[in-house]
Structure 1
Amino acid sequence: MSESREHLQTLTEIRSLMERSSKFLSLSGLSGVSAGIVALVGAGAAYIRLQKNNQTWLSYERISQLTGPERREMVDFLLADGALVLAGALLLGIFFTIRKAHRQGLSVWNTISKRLLWALAVPLVAGGIFCLALIRFNLIWLVFPSTLIFYGLALCSGSKYTVRDVEYLGLSEILLGLIALFWTGFSLLTWAVGFGALHIVYGTVMYLKYERDEPKR
């Protein structure tokens, strides 16, 4: 019986080593939670700013009624708001990921993390260029669902290099983005749910599942 337990423990250790060598396991659930909070703050700022001019619906009909200067002002604000949200989420995500890797005694920058970064970058860069084209041709109401869809595709692409939970988040983002394509009057709400609420739920689950009882070094 003791020998069987030793064999089982050995197999578990071998499996853990193989998983560590083929998957990036330093993604922190706190990165997801912090990104979600930052996104909700950004969405709240956008709501307050757009509400002043009764533009919070961001539908085709509403945007088509805006004059050139009004549209330009709204686009400039949304781009600045989005850039700040992205920067804040990235900085916090990098901080928590490095901290978790340090606690695990792992290197953040390795072959697997490079593959993960590339898998994420291709859909994200393509989506960013696509969204810039939408803005260029005044299709602003499609930018919000497009960011959700391309972000979800990036997560699904990168999930094979990390934990499976990332794929579930990606599929949720894609589904929400597709719904938002036909529910354009609530673009800001669906964006807040996708990048805010879903990230907080995902990050909390990740933390409870993988990090709560993790030994600290």
Structure 2
Amino acid sequence: MRVIVVEDDDDLRLALTTELAGAGLRVDEAADLGTAHAALSVGRYDCAVFDRMLPDGDAITYVDRRRQQGWGVPVLFLTARDSLADRVAGFEHGGDDYLVKPFAMAELTARVVALGRRTGGGRPSVLRHADLTVDCARREVRRAGVLLTLTAKEFAVLEYLMTRPDQAVARAELIEHCWDASTDPMSNVVDVVVRRLRGKLREPELIHAVRGHGYRLGGLRPSA
């Protein structure tokens, strides 16, 4: 899941991106609407988190204008303005959720994940393939009924592969959706995470290497 956080307070922006990245999301960041617009114009995002008041304007005005142009990315507004009128305005001008500062980071993460699932075209929160089950809402993975312990990044990679069963997924695509923009697309981070993930999923293998390309979540292959 790919998210952009638009917040001009450096400390809060760092805290938000760290929290969301720790939950396995790919997080890009911006400190103003101009930078956010540039990123949103070229990238595909599952959710956008906007502080209301930014150095170059009110995010509500920006989102409202983009909605009129057919922009459909789910938006969560963050603000210290907690009046009923402010909350209603947020929803009326294109917001999908509204969180008043101060807030609990765990609640923010849960709301962002819930909004991000909307961009999956209504895909279920529980994904199944062979004897593997991924509960995206609870962030639980079971293989043949056995609960597995995965890191946030392992979960993110597996979740993405589960949405594309039997398709070859390029390493660059996994980096785009599961890592932040600073990750070198030529690095071996994908291979390292997939190697650990395959070890935790155990035999018979479900994740198969596609030579020169990436990985595919396929059918069961008997172990040798």
Query: Fold match, TM over 0.5?
Result: no
Determine which structure has the larger helix proportion and give its number: 1
**Structure 2 length normalisation: TM-score?**
0.28
Determine which structure has more spread, i.e. the larger CA radius of gyration: 1
